[in-house]
A and B are shown apart, each in its own frame.
Chain A
Amino acid sequence: MHSTNRQRGKRICFLLLLLLLFLGTAINILLIWCWGYGGNRMNRENHSVFNGKVSGVELLVDPNAEDSRTYGNDSILEQGVVIAGQTSLTVSADKKEAAVDFYNPDENAQLYYLTFELRLYDREGKEYEILYTSGLVEPGKHISRITLSHELERGVHEAVIHVQPYRMNEEKTPTNNADIKISLIVQ
């Protein structure tokens, strides 16, 4: 009777040990899967040699990485330069001062400065001399009075307002530009 009870106690102890061993193994497998395999499965597949770790740092997909972008389609770069056109400018024959409207439209806000250069062409329309050059004009601003480099003869002259835009960045990078052909009327 005494030995039977002892044998039963041994069996129970053995079964408890087996149960603890089973539970421990199960917990270990679960922890390994959660922290190791499950969290780093992609890197392990691609870099099996490093087992998903380089120098102790786990390799994860960088969420900041973007698809390759083509700068030509960049929306900011694609924003064109808006230039107001005109066809004539009238000045006095005996004065170097002239009333004009050299204007940088509001649409260029935060994008482009404009400079204006008044060029007087010869009769052949090939050579020119510069009568006036402005500084950088901010978007929304006008130049309404200018001083020409010299007085002009009466008549209608062929002239060009050369408009050079610059990006509103630190470098003030020049962009493509425009020549606005006008009749310079001196009276």
Chain B
Amino acid sequence: MRKLLPGILIMFLSFGVSFISPAEEDIITQSSQANSSSITVGYNAGVTYTVTIPASVTFTDTEKRVERSLQVTDVVLSEGSTLHVNLASLNDFKMICGDGYIEYHLLVNANDVPEDNYTILTVSAGDRSGWAVLDFVTDLNRDHTLYAGNYTDLLTFTVAVE
């Protein structure tokens, strides 16, 4: 019995040591945690937008006021900047056919717009979209000298972010 006792004691101690000593994987993990460097989580949001312009405006004898819409969607702007949409006419808001012409004018959201720059829409940073209702109104009346033909004008929508 006396001979067996030291053997049992040695066995017990060796079990205990293996039980309390950390595994090799744990040692590596702890070591790597101690030496880890931080990583950056980021998102680079570039300035973007999508503009939808009216393709054409066609007046008829029965329709002298034509409604169209202008939309700006998916807007992402830098803080403090603003998106502007201006309108310009190739013939100074006259539809031309030869020497003849028919004048027309524009209402934005049912209001007159200043003719010097024709700013028709403004979208501020933070807003994701914007839109405006454009009413094109022809000034044609019965007294106007009119020749048969196809009267046209060309509109340019200028978009700027400032």
Contacts and interface: CB of A to CB of B under 8 A. Distances in A.
A161 to B, nearest CB: 10
A52 interface: no
Contacts of A110: none
A87 B45 CA distance: 13
Contacts of B11: none
A81 to B, nearest CB: 5
Interface size class of A (residues with CB under 8 A): 20 to 34
Interface stretch (B14-22, B97-105, B114-122, B153-161): B153-161
Interface in B19-66: 47-60, 62-63, 66
Prevailing SS type, chain B contact patch:
strand
A181 B158 contact: yes
6 contacts: A77-B56, A82-B50, A83-B52, A86-B47, A160-B158, A176-B154
B51 A178 contact: yes
A179 to B, nearest CB: 4
A144 interface: no
Given A70-B60, A179-B156, A80 B161 contact: no
Interface of B: 47-60, 62-63, 66, 68-71, 154-161
Nearest to A77: B56
B55 A80 contact: yes
B53 A176 contact: yes
A160 B157 CA distance: 12
A128 to B, nearest CB: 13
B19 to A, nearest CB: 63
Contacts of B156: 176-179
A176 B49 CA distance: 19
A70 B62 contact: yes
B58 A85 contact: no
Given A73-B63, A176-B55, 19 more contacts: A68-B62, A77-B56, A78-B68, A80-B54, A80-B69, A81-B54, A85-B48, A85-B49, A85-B159, A87-B47, A105-B50, A107-B52, A165-B55, A175-B56, A176-B57, A176-B156, A178-B157, A178-B159, A181-B160
